[in-house]
Amino acid sequence: MTEFGTNLAAMVTPMQPGGALSEPGLARLVEHLLATGCDGLVVGGTTGESPTLSEAEAAGLVRAVAARVAGRARVIAGVGTYDTASSIRRAREAEEAGADGLLLVCPYYSRPTQEGVLAHCVAVADATELPVMLYDVPARTGVAMAPSTLIELAGHPRIRAVKDAKGDLFEAMAVMSRTPLAYYCGIDELTLPYLACGAAGLVSVVANVAADRTASLIQAVGDGDLVKARAVHDGLIPLMDRLLRSGTAAANTKAALAELGVIPHPSVRLPLLEAEFRP
Protein backbone atom coordinates (compact mmCIF):
# COMPACT_ATOMS: atom_id res chain seq x y z
CA MET A 1 0.00 0.00 0.00
CA THR A 2 1.30 3.45 -0.89
CA GLU A 3 0.90 6.48 1.34
CA PHE A 4 -2.60 7.12 -0.01
CA GLY A 5 -3.37 3.69 -1.45
CA THR A 6 -3.75 2.94 -5.16
CA ASN A 7 -7.41 1.95 -5.69
CA LEU A 8 -9.26 4.83 -4.03
CA ALA A 9 -13.01 5.29 -4.11
CA ALA A 10 -14.41 8.80 -4.23
CA MET A 11 -17.09 7.81 -1.72
CA VAL A 12 -20.66 8.95 -1.93
CA THR A 13 -22.24 10.07 1.34
CA PRO A 14 -25.22 7.82 2.17
CA MET A 15 -28.30 9.80 3.18
CA GLN A 16 -31.83 9.14 4.34
CA PRO A 17 -34.85 10.54 2.52
CA GLY A 18 -34.92 14.19 3.47
CA GLY A 19 -31.14 14.50 3.50
CA ALA A 20 -30.05 13.35 6.96
CA LEU A 21 -26.87 11.28 6.99
CA SER A 22 -27.40 7.51 7.08
CA GLU A 23 -25.15 5.77 9.59
CA PRO A 24 -26.26 2.25 8.54
CA GLY A 25 -25.72 3.16 4.90
CA LEU A 26 -22.25 4.50 5.66
CA ALA A 27 -21.24 1.36 7.54
CA ARG A 28 -22.47 -0.91 4.75
CA LEU A 29 -20.78 1.18 2.08
CA VAL A 30 -17.42 1.14 3.86
CA GLU A 31 -17.55 -2.65 4.25
CA HIS A 32 -18.57 -3.04 0.61
CA LEU A 33 -15.66 -0.90 -0.60
CA LEU A 34 -13.12 -2.76 1.53
CA ALA A 35 -14.48 -6.14 0.48
CA THR A 36 -14.32 -5.29 -3.21
CA GLY A 37 -10.72 -4.08 -3.20
CA CYS A 38 -10.36 -0.43 -2.17
CA ASP A 39 -7.21 0.41 -0.24
CA GLY A 40 -8.14 4.09 0.08
CA LEU A 41 -11.42 5.89 0.80
CA VAL A 42 -11.90 9.57 -0.01
CA VAL A 43 -14.50 10.95 2.40
CA GLY A 44 -16.30 14.24 1.87
CA GLY A 45 -15.05 14.97 -1.64
CA THR A 46 -17.14 16.29 -4.50
CA THR A 47 -18.77 12.89 -5.07
CA GLY A 48 -19.57 12.94 -1.35
CA GLU A 49 -21.52 16.20 -1.90
CA SER A 50 -18.99 18.19 0.11
CA PRO A 51 -20.52 21.63 -0.62
CA THR A 52 -23.67 20.52 1.23
CA LEU A 53 -21.87 19.16 4.32
CA SER A 54 -21.41 21.30 7.40
CA GLU A 55 -18.01 21.31 9.07
CA ALA A 56 -19.43 19.18 11.89
CA GLU A 57 -20.89 16.68 9.43
CA ALA A 58 -17.64 16.47 7.47
CA ALA A 59 -15.61 15.78 10.61
CA GLY A 60 -18.20 13.28 11.82
CA LEU A 61 -18.02 11.36 8.55
CA VAL A 62 -14.24 11.11 8.77
CA ARG A 63 -14.47 9.95 12.38
CA ALA A 64 -17.08 7.30 11.56
CA VAL A 65 -15.23 6.01 8.50
CA ALA A 66 -11.84 5.93 10.24
CA ALA A 67 -13.33 3.99 13.15
CA ARG A 68 -14.98 1.52 10.79
CA VAL A 69 -11.92 1.07 8.61
CA ALA A 70 -9.65 0.51 11.62
CA GLY A 71 -6.46 0.59 9.59
CA ARG A 72 -7.65 -1.65 6.74
CA ALA A 73 -7.33 1.18 4.21
CA ARG A 74 -6.25 4.81 4.04
CA VAL A 75 -8.88 7.41 4.91
CA ILE A 76 -8.44 10.62 2.91
CA ALA A 77 -10.56 13.60 3.96
CA GLY A 78 -11.75 16.17 1.45
CA VAL A 79 -11.11 19.53 3.11
CA GLY A 80 -10.97 22.01 0.24
CA THR A 81 -13.29 25.00 0.07
CA TYR A 82 -13.10 28.46 -1.50
CA ASP A 83 -12.14 29.90 1.90
CA THR A 84 -8.66 29.22 3.26
CA ALA A 85 -9.62 29.67 6.91
CA SER A 86 -12.49 27.18 6.54
CA SER A 87 -10.21 24.71 4.75
CA ILE A 88 -7.69 24.96 7.59
CA ARG A 89 -10.41 24.26 10.17
CA ARG A 90 -11.62 21.25 8.19
CA ALA A 91 -8.05 19.96 7.84
CA ARG A 92 -7.42 20.19 11.58
CA GLU A 93 -10.77 18.58 12.38
CA ALA A 94 -10.04 15.76 9.91
CA GLU A 95 -6.66 15.13 11.51
CA GLU A 96 -8.28 14.97 14.94
CA ALA A 97 -10.99 12.65 13.58
CA GLY A 98 -8.42 10.10 12.39
CA ALA A 99 -7.80 10.86 8.72
CA ASP A 100 -4.61 9.51 7.14
CA GLY A 101 -4.38 12.26 4.55
CA LEU A 102 -6.09 15.29 3.03
CA LEU A 103 -7.56 15.99 -0.40
CA LEU A 104 -7.26 19.70 -1.17
CA VAL A 105 -9.11 21.12 -4.14
CA CYS A 106 -8.06 24.34 -5.84
CA PRO A 107 -10.26 27.13 -4.40
CA TYR A 108 -13.41 27.37 -6.48
CA TYR A 109 -15.64 30.26 -7.56
CA SER A 110 -13.30 33.03 -6.39
CA ARG A 111 -10.80 32.17 -9.16
CA PRO A 112 -7.59 33.20 -7.38
CA THR A 113 -4.32 33.90 -9.17
CA GLN A 114 -1.66 31.21 -9.22
CA GLU A 115 0.04 33.07 -6.37
CA GLY A 116 -3.22 32.81 -4.44
CA VAL A 117 -3.49 29.10 -5.19
CA LEU A 118 0.05 28.62 -3.90
CA ALA A 119 -0.61 30.57 -0.71
CA HIS A 120 -3.87 28.70 -0.08
CA CYS A 121 -2.32 25.24 -0.53
CA VAL A 122 0.72 26.04 1.60
CA ALA A 123 -1.44 27.46 4.40
CA VAL A 124 -3.56 24.31 4.55
CA ALA A 125 -0.56 21.98 4.25
CA ASP A 126 1.14 23.86 7.10
CA ALA A 127 -1.91 23.45 9.34
CA THR A 128 -1.54 19.71 10.08
CA GLU A 129 1.00 16.88 9.98
CA LEU A 130 -1.01 14.92 7.38
CA PRO A 131 0.14 14.28 3.80
CA VAL A 132 -1.76 16.27 1.19
CA MET A 133 -3.12 15.24 -2.20
CA LEU A 134 -3.89 18.27 -4.36
CA TYR A 135 -7.03 18.13 -6.49
CA ASP A 136 -6.78 19.83 -9.88
CA VAL A 137 -10.26 19.98 -11.47
CA PRO A 138 -10.63 23.23 -13.44
CA ALA A 139 -14.01 22.23 -14.92
CA ARG A 140 -15.45 22.58 -11.40
CA THR A 141 -13.24 25.27 -9.86
CA GLY A 142 -12.78 27.66 -12.78
CA VAL A 143 -9.01 27.72 -12.18
CA ALA A 144 -6.39 25.17 -13.18
CA MET A 145 -3.21 24.58 -11.21
CA ALA A 146 -0.44 25.61 -13.58
CA PRO A 147 2.48 23.20 -14.02
CA SER A 148 4.79 25.78 -12.42
CA THR A 149 2.45 25.93 -9.40
CA LEU A 150 2.42 22.15 -9.03
CA ILE A 151 6.20 21.99 -9.34
CA GLU A 152 6.61 24.66 -6.67
CA LEU A 153 4.10 22.99 -4.35
CA ALA A 154 5.97 19.69 -4.74
CA GLY A 155 8.74 21.25 -2.65
CA HIS A 156 6.48 21.33 0.41
CA PRO A 157 7.29 18.38 2.69
CA ARG A 158 3.64 17.38 3.13
CA ILE A 159 2.34 17.91 -0.41
CA ARG A 160 2.87 14.46 -1.91
CA ALA A 161 0.29 13.77 -4.61
CA VAL A 162 -2.14 15.14 -7.21
CA LYS A 163 -5.61 13.97 -8.11
CA ASP A 164 -5.63 15.05 -11.72
CA ALA A 165 -9.04 15.71 -13.25
CA LYS A 166 -7.67 18.12 -15.82
CA GLY A 167 -7.18 15.46 -18.48
CA ASP A 168 -3.97 16.85 -19.98
CA LEU A 169 -1.80 13.74 -20.16
CA PHE A 170 1.23 15.53 -21.54
CA GLU A 171 1.17 18.06 -18.70
CA ALA A 172 0.76 15.26 -16.16
CA MET A 173 3.76 13.40 -17.58
CA ALA A 174 5.81 16.59 -17.62
CA VAL A 175 5.07 17.33 -13.94
CA MET A 176 5.71 13.70 -12.96
CA SER A 177 9.07 13.84 -14.74
CA ARG A 178 10.14 16.91 -12.73
CA THR A 179 8.70 16.16 -9.27
CA PRO A 180 8.19 13.26 -6.85
CA LEU A 181 4.43 13.91 -6.83
CA ALA A 182 2.34 10.75 -7.07
CA TYR A 183 -0.36 11.24 -9.68
CA TYR A 184 -3.85 9.79 -9.32
CA CYS A 185 -6.30 9.73 -12.19
CA GLY A 186 -9.46 11.63 -11.29
CA ILE A 187 -11.27 10.98 -14.59
CA ASP A 188 -12.55 7.41 -14.71
CA GLU A 189 -12.77 7.38 -18.49
CA LEU A 190 -9.00 8.04 -18.71
CA THR A 191 -7.80 5.64 -16.01
CA LEU A 192 -5.99 3.32 -18.42
CA PRO A 193 -3.90 5.99 -20.19
CA TYR A 194 -3.05 7.69 -16.89
CA LEU A 195 -1.85 4.43 -15.37
CA ALA A 196 0.11 3.62 -18.51
CA CYS A 197 1.79 7.03 -18.28
CA GLY A 198 2.96 6.46 -14.72
CA ALA A 199 0.08 7.39 -12.42
CA ALA A 200 0.27 5.75 -8.98
CA GLY A 201 -3.41 4.93 -8.89
CA LEU A 202 -6.87 6.38 -9.19
CA VAL A 203 -9.51 8.24 -7.22
CA SER A 204 -12.57 6.73 -8.80
CA VAL A 205 -16.32 7.27 -8.79
CA VAL A 206 -16.80 3.93 -10.55
CA ALA A 207 -14.92 2.17 -7.71
CA ASN A 208 -17.99 2.74 -5.51
CA VAL A 209 -19.69 0.10 -7.65
CA ALA A 210 -16.85 -1.90 -9.23
CA ALA A 211 -13.69 -1.60 -7.12
CA ASP A 212 -12.79 -5.19 -7.92
CA ARG A 213 -12.52 -4.30 -11.59
CA THR A 214 -10.60 -1.07 -11.03
CA ALA A 215 -8.21 -3.09 -8.83
CA SER A 216 -7.77 -5.59 -11.68
CA LEU A 217 -7.02 -2.74 -14.07
CA ILE A 218 -4.34 -1.32 -11.76
CA GLN A 219 -2.82 -4.78 -11.32
CA ALA A 220 -2.77 -5.50 -15.04
CA VAL A 221 -0.96 -2.25 -15.83
CA GLY A 222 1.47 -2.87 -12.97
CA ASP A 223 2.17 -6.31 -14.41
CA GLY A 224 2.79 -4.82 -17.85
CA ASP A 225 -0.17 -6.76 -19.30
CA LEU A 226 -1.74 -4.06 -21.43
CA VAL A 227 -3.87 -6.58 -23.33
CA LYS A 228 -5.62 -7.55 -20.11
CA ALA A 229 -5.73 -3.91 -18.97
CA ARG A 230 -7.50 -2.89 -22.17
CA ALA A 231 -9.97 -5.74 -21.77
CA VAL A 232 -10.79 -4.71 -18.19
CA HIS A 233 -11.12 -1.07 -19.19
CA ASP A 234 -13.33 -1.93 -22.16
CA GLY A 235 -15.58 -3.90 -19.83
CA LEU A 236 -15.98 -0.85 -17.60
CA ILE A 237 -17.02 1.50 -20.40
CA PRO A 238 -20.79 0.75 -20.20
CA LEU A 239 -20.74 1.38 -16.44
CA MET A 240 -18.75 4.58 -16.88
CA ASP A 241 -21.27 5.72 -19.47
CA ARG A 242 -24.21 5.14 -17.11
CA LEU A 243 -22.60 6.73 -14.06
CA LEU A 244 -20.64 9.61 -15.55
CA ARG A 245 -21.88 10.69 -18.94
CA SER A 246 -25.38 11.90 -18.09
CA GLY A 247 -26.89 13.51 -15.02
CA THR A 248 -24.65 13.86 -11.97
CA ALA A 249 -22.14 11.23 -10.90
CA ALA A 250 -23.02 11.37 -7.19
CA ALA A 251 -26.75 10.84 -7.80
CA ASN A 252 -26.19 8.14 -10.43
CA THR A 253 -23.74 6.28 -8.21
CA LYS A 254 -26.09 6.36 -5.23
CA ALA A 255 -28.85 5.00 -7.44
CA ALA A 256 -26.58 2.15 -8.57
CA LEU A 257 -25.53 1.35 -4.99
CA ALA A 258 -29.16 1.33 -3.85
CA GLU A 259 -30.05 -0.98 -6.75
CA LEU A 260 -27.27 -3.32 -5.61
CA GLY A 261 -28.55 -3.21 -2.03
CA VAL A 262 -25.36 -1.63 -0.65
CA ILE A 263 -27.08 1.52 0.65
CA PRO A 264 -30.75 1.73 1.61
CA HIS A 265 -31.63 4.93 -0.23
CA PRO A 266 -30.33 6.89 -3.26
CA SER A 267 -31.13 10.19 -1.54
CA VAL A 268 -29.11 13.33 -2.31
CA ARG A 269 -29.24 16.93 -1.14
CA LEU A 270 -30.36 19.82 -3.29
CA PRO A 271 -29.30 21.15 -5.71
CA LEU A 272 -28.78 17.53 -6.83
CA LEU A 273 -31.84 15.48 -7.67
CA GLU A 274 -32.32 11.79 -6.99
CA ALA A 275 -31.61 9.53 -9.94
CA GLU A 276 -32.66 6.07 -11.07
CA PHE A 277 -30.21 3.42 -12.20
CA ARG A 278 -31.21 1.57 -15.32
CA PRO A 279 -28.90 -1.42 -15.96
Q: Which residues are catalytic?
A: 135, 163
CA-CA distance, 32 to 42, in Å (whole number)? 14
CA-CA distance, 259 to 154, in Å (whole number)? 42
Q: How far is CA 84 from the centre of its chain?
A: 20
Residue 240, amino acid = M
CA-CA distance, 121 to 117, in Å (whole number)? 6
Give φ, ψ of 273 to 5 degrees: -120, 145
CA-CA distance, 209 to 93, in Å (whole number)? 29
Helix (H, G, I), strand (E, B) or coil at 183: strand
DSSP readout, 219-241? HHHHTT-HHHHHHHHHHHHHHHH
Q: What is the largest CA-CA distance in the chain?
A: 48
Query: CA nearest 20: which of 49, 62, 47?
Result: 49
